[in-house]
Each structure stands twice: as structure tokens, then as C-alpha cells.
Structure 1
């Protein structure tokens, strides 16, 4: 365990992040669920969120939900604060105020405050020292930064699970639970019921919880009843319908019966975004007494929302699709969206993934759509090596039909893999980058790539 000399603290964000990595035996990848440590430090800091809070948990759809909430409330004139994780390229992406990522320098005072608080009263006595994980330390930093930024609504994305995630030290005024699927099973449980119970930990007695999973685990419903949360379910308390041109949304009459009709589709692409948007509108309805929102703000917000890496289609030739799909459920949604894009002669995939993912289930759905695989290492100890991914693909009849390998190469970085794909792709082809935030972030590191061999060689 190391501490910082607060008479001469780190002077840059990178130095503070390196310090956070050194606190935990497993560094940045160390995960130690539990609220006792982070609550103790938060109490020492006197950390209180001075505005209504929406907490968002779920397996997939959390980032899209947070982005739509942020866009609508911003269009309604509110100063928004958003915490999401992980980031794609820069750490500062995790903390947005007024729809802009905060400057690195703006985070530094909060790092110093968290360090002082975790060391106890002026650092006196080892008994007062609290060891925080990287995620716990940085969560406290971002919560303090948001609390001091004059925001009028806080939108907080849960990092992992819900019940024992550091974000859950903040009591939400409204909780949103998006789709629940199988992921992080070694930490959260082996089935949807166990995972649902962990997600349901963000609920609070007497507060609204919006569940936008069309078929939620029974554990979520039971937990809401047990603690006396006000449960709003998609398909029961609110619903949506649409055609190819427009869509509409409505609350049940027992909850006021508010309606929106004739709306343009959200700017975020993908068939699953109407489900996410429906949950967003329900959350906005739940907080309407404190945060009134006009119908025009809803329409403008959904029309203008942006979120890199969520079925992001980059203009140019060949077509480039970026998607952080990294578990079977999100990869199935990606495959559905790729199916809906129309015909492309050849699909090239740039793929890198964590070693704990259910690779077989991921490949079963998307494998038939991919003609050539460009596999990449990722800069994390828990990531699969590209060579290991290649062996798995070659052993699968889905990705190596008739024993013929579709692996085009293994590469040290996502950008190297993308360069290799671009070098052989025809203008009419399609390149899909997916498998992890680190895979997509690796190709976005220098901005949205322009797909030509000359540009990518620069």
C-alpha cells in the first residue's frame, strides 16, 4: 500500500491514475466488490449529491440509456452531470458536465481530497487508512467533481452488478434497470436470477425503479416488492409501438397516461434502442414533479443524442461499423443490426476480447456473417491473446466451416488489425470492429479513422 506525499501531490491526471493502480494488489484490473471501504471514505469527505439522481444498472443498454437521459435533460435546459464507465479513449470521458467531458485538470482537486480522506485524519495512524480499488478511488473522485459542478441532475451508470458496486453508495431518486443477460458470471452469479438480484440492489424503498428488460428475472420483481420500491415495467406500466417511419410511447393510465406520438427514431442506431428509449421516458416521467421536461425537449434530445461505439457507422468506403458488443446478448444485437444493413460482398471483423467471455455463444450468432477475422491483442492482463482467439475460431465449425480457417491474421493492436483489414477490403465491403471497449477504443485513439490505406498508414 502506498500513499501520496500531499505536500507535493501528483500534478497530472496520469500520475494520479498510476497512484490509484498501485493501491490494489491487482492494479487497475483488481475487482473487490463491497461498499464498506468506499462508504467510509465518502463519509469522511462529507460527500452528498445536491440534486436528483438517476442510477442505471443492467448488462447492456446502460450507456445508451445514460446518453439519452443526458440529451433530453440538456435540451430541457438542465445542467447535467454524467458518470459512465469504462471509457473508450480518455479517462475524462467518464465524467461529463453540461454534455462535455471535464478537463483533466478539473479532476485533480478531487483526487487530493479522496487521498486525504482515505488516509484518515491527516494521515495519522495506520488504523485509519482505507485501501481503495482503482474503480472505488476514481468513482469517489468523479462523484465529488459532479457534486461541486452545479449540476441539476446526476446520471450515474453502475460499473458492475449494482448491489455492491461503488456507485451504489449514492441513493437514487429513480433507478433504471436495463436488459439483464449473462456476463461477469464469476462475480455476479451463474444465471439471470442471480445476476438480476445484484442489479436490483440499486432499488430504494419508496422510490421508482424503471425496468426496461421486457422479460425481467423474477428476482428483480421480488426484490422490488420486498423493499417497497415503486416498480414500473415495460409492457405493463409503459409501452411503445412503432412502424418504419415513427414510433410512440405511453404510460399506463394508472400512472398519469402521458403519451408521445409520431416521434422520429432515436439518433442511436439499432433495434434495441426503442427499448432503451422507453425506459428513459419512464424515468423522466417518474421525476417530472422535480424536473419538468417538455415534449419538444424529448424529441430534440432523442434526435440529437450521440454515443460513440454503439453501432456507430462511420461514413466512407469501405463501410466501418464500431460496436462495443462484448457479451453474447450484445453480440446477438449487433448481428441483428448488421443483418438489417443490407448486402455487402464481404464482411471483415476486427476482434479482441477478454478471456472470461463466452466466446462460443458470441460466435454462434455473428460467426456466419463474418468472412475474414483480424484478431488483436489488448493491453490488459485479463484479455485473450490474438493467437488464442485464432485457435478458438479455427476449432469452431461456425467460424471455420469445413475446417477452412477464416482468420486473416493476428495483430498487436486494434489499429494494426484495422489497417490490415483496410489494406485488402474492397470499397463495397464492410469492416466491423467489436469485442471490447478496448478494441473500439484502440481504433478511436487518434479520432474517428478515415478509411483509406494512406490515412491509416500516417
Structure 2
């Protein structure tokens, strides 16, 4: 029976392939070739462990302010699948995506595709038909063997690299860096915004004779309490306002963004005013997102030790709160002991949540792990879903307290799925 709605296509994609992750490009490239997938405009690909989504959002925002027609593909989504694709800064409709899924289905013949591969091809097909000036593609789990890597990039950006998905990408930063570096292309520019890039990334750039832009060598930043500055090859920006995305780690991401824009200046010239406006107006839910009110609500998709460490530093910089409540749900294959141990000293009360995936850690297991490292974990509850956990935290919190929701996209998405405005209004009046 032919699929008529986006949800029908997504349900079909989930049943199509025997495993959810199947690294390799042969199948997806063969389907892309039959689709005639081609952009013919500048393409920026962004890989890394942390900071990819923020980097993509800042690139999009600045380029929009410069007057370019932008396309963006990012994953995963928080609540709705359509979040994965934006054209001119606007989410595409589910109706607009349906024809592109049908194109993939017609082209794949007997080739089996994972949910991620099928949907990635569909979104890239839509973007290729949208009369754009530039496309920004966030690489998924890895780099070298990720479905996005069938596209030859005009500028590769590699953000912070840390331990995550080690069973697939390798046990250390060097192994993971080698996989991320797979998005580089011979003779093409690559921006590395990780301040301490793995040697494997540098070696790959050298072997490909890539034009390497390295943080600390080819570009750098400095800042004080009020403003920051950036300097790179042939360009300097002074007196910049801090990006609208909160957190000290966002300056690292923004620096990589400015380097990438400088790399592409001959094809996509950008004014200083576009940079200022773009960074000031960028918005990305779930990245140290502070919902004002009483109690304060902080949403962050931090889901590995490095991102949880950044979240911890950002929380610490917020000032004093009598009590910090944490709503947590996470995947079982993460380094949960390091994650919980890092943020634990800031948490007074825990609300652990089950998540609707087989690979998710059980709330009870999370509570037991936390109890091994943090005395505060003795003040802990378990809940069947993130929304229930947040409701419990809201019921227990005083107006002067703080609630932080983190651990997985599914955790943050779980509290957002019924609509943040209504939730904010409720706790504003609590």
C-alpha cells in the first residue's frame, strides 16, 4: 500500500532494515546515484562529538543574515521529525517531505536502507530541489561511514571530539578523530575547532593535502565579560556580542563558524554586520536553554562526559540556587558513571526517567549508578517518562530553585513534546 503521510513513511523506514545502525556507504551511495542526487552549490559538512548542532545553527543564522538561501539538515530531532530539515530558516512541512521519500523508495529498488539512511536521502533530495545558495549538513554518528558523507564537501568543519559511541567509532580520541576526519576531501578546506585536535585528524588533513584551519594556529578568539574578538587568516572581528546560544563552550563553536565563513568568503561573502546579527539571533532548543521563571528550568541535550562537563561549568556560572533538581534519562551505552559523577556535586535531588528505546538505561539502574558516586543520589526518584519526572520536580521545587533536564535528546524531547509554552506558563505561576 503506498504511503501518503510522513508518519507512514517513517513507520515504514523503521521496519525496512534489520538493524538500526549499519555503517557503510555502498548501499546509500548506490541509491543516491540512481536518484541523481546533486547540489551544485557550496556544501558545508559538520562532524564532531559535541557542538555540531550549535555550529550548524550559527552557520545558518549568519548566512541567512547575509541574504543567502540556506538549507540545513541536522539530526536527531527533539520532538518532531520535521526539525531535521530547514529551508530559509523555516522547518519544512511534513507534506513537503512526502514526495522525496517516494523518490528514495523508487530509486532504492531492492537495496535495503536504515531509517537514518532513507530519511537522510529524502531530506537531501528535498534540499537539492529547493533553489538554495548553500547547504549545511550535520554528520550523524561518525563521519567516514556516515550517510551524509556521500556528499563531497566544499568546507568540512570538525568540532570538539570526545569519547562517545566507542563500540562503533573506537575506544579513544585518536580512533574517533580518524572516523570524524573521514569527511575531509583532497585539497579542500577543513576547519578544526577542537582546541586540542587528535593527531589522527591532523595526519588525515596532511595526507589529503587539505587546507587545514586549526584552532590556535590559523584562528583564535579572546574575550572578557562584555564582548569577544576573533582573528583568523586575513580577517579580524572585534567587539562582538556573545552568541545568543548560552555557555562558554559556544565561543569555541562560534570561532569555528567564523573560520568556515572566511574559508568560503570568495563564494559566499559575508559582512561583519551579518556576523553580528546572525550570532545575536541564533536559536537552538535544548542547548543550555534557560526557560525563565520560578523555578528556573534548564534544558540541555548533554549526553556524554564532555558535554555534561560543559553543562556543569555553565550551571556553576549561573550563581547560587538553594536547590538544584535534575531530571535525567540516558542511553545505557554511555559512560554514565563519569557523566553522573561530573555533575553530581551540583545536584541536590534526582528524578531518573525511563526512555522509550531498548538501548536506554532503566531509571532504577541510573539511580543505583548515581548512588555509587554521589551521596545526594540517595535523594532520588524514578519515573516512567521524562514528563512525569519533570512534573515531580516541579511539584517539589521551591520558586527560588533550579531544575535541569539532561542526558539524551529523548529526555529533553520528552519534556517538550506537549509544548514548552504551556509548561513555562505553568511553572511561571507556581
Same fold (TM > 0.5): yes
2:77 is aligned with 1:102: no
Alignment of 1:171-190 (within 5 A): 171-190=152-171
Instruction: Tell me what 1:221 maps to.
Output: 202
Does the aligned pair in 2 maintain the 1:316–1:451 contact within 8 Å?
no
Q: Which residues of 2 match residues 353-372 of structure 1 at below 5 A?
A: 353-372=330-349
Q: 2:375 aligns with which of 391, 400, 405?
A: 400
Deviations 1:381-419 (A, max 9, x none): 11011111112122x13x226xx7121x11111111000
Equivalent residue, structure 2, for 1:124: none
Distance in 2 separating the partners of 1:280 and 1:16: 34
Q: Distance in 1 between matches of 2:422 and 2:391?
A: 11
TM-score scaled to structure 2, two decimals? Answer: 0.98
Q: Check whether the contact 1:85–1:94 (CA below 8 A) recurs between aligned residues.
A: yes
Larger radius of gyration: 1
1:97-153 Cα offsets, whole Å, 9 max, x none, are 00011000000111111001011xxxxxxxxx1000110000000000100011110
Secondary structure in 2 matching 1:337: helix
3-state DSSP of counterpart to 1:418 = helix
Contact 1:419/1:453 (<8 A) preserved: no
The partner residue of 1:112 within 82, 102, 109 is 102
Secondary structure of 2:378's counterpart equals coil
Q: Contact 2:341 / 2:370 at 8 angstroms: preserved in 1?
A: no
Q: Is the 8 A contact 2:219 2:231 kept in 1?
A: yes
SS in 1 for 2:119: helix
Q: Does 1:156 align with 2:131?
A: no
Where structure 1 has 5 or more consecutive residues not aligned to the other structure, the ranges are: 120-128
Contact 1:247 1:265 (8 Å CA) reproduced:
yes
Shift >4 Å, 4+ stretches: 449-457
SS in 1 for 2:287: coil
Question: 1:74 & 1:211 partners in 2: Cα distance?
Answer: 23
CA apart distance, 1:50 = 2.6
Match of 1:279 among 250, 256, 259: 256
Gaps of 5+ in 2: none
Confirm or deny: 8 A CA contact 1:318 1:451 kept in the other structure.
no
**1:287 CA drift (Å):** 0.5
Alignment of 1:48-59 (within 5 A): 48-59=38-49
Structure 1 residue matching 2:420: 3-state secondary structure = coil
3-state DSSP of counterpart to 2:62: helix
RMSD over aligned Cα, in angstroms?
1.4
For 2:264 and 2:426, the matched residues in 1 are separated by 51
Q: 2:221 aligned with 1:240, yes or no?
A: yes
Given that 1:247 and 1:263 are in contact with CA atoms closer than 8 Å, whether structure 2 keeps it comes out as: yes
Change (3 A) 1:411 1:456: farther
**Alignment equivalent of 1:424, drawn from 385, 388, 396:** 396
Among 217, 226, 230, the residue aligned to 1:249: 230
* Distance of aligned partners of 1:315 and 1:45 in 2 relative to their CA distance in 1, 3 Å threshold: same
Task: Tell me, in whole angstroms, the C-alpha distance in 2 between the residues paired with 1:364 and 1:374.
Answer: 15
> How many correspondences in the alignment?
429
How far apart are residue 455 of structure 1 and its match? 6.7
Measured in 2, the distance between the counterparts of 1:425 and 1:261 equals 42
Report the Cα distance in structure 1 between the residues aligned to 2:260 and 2:423, rounded to whole angstroms. Answer: 39
- SS of residue paired to 2:321: coil
Q: Counterpart of 1:126?
A: none
**Residue 160 of structure 1: how far off its partner (Å):** 0.9
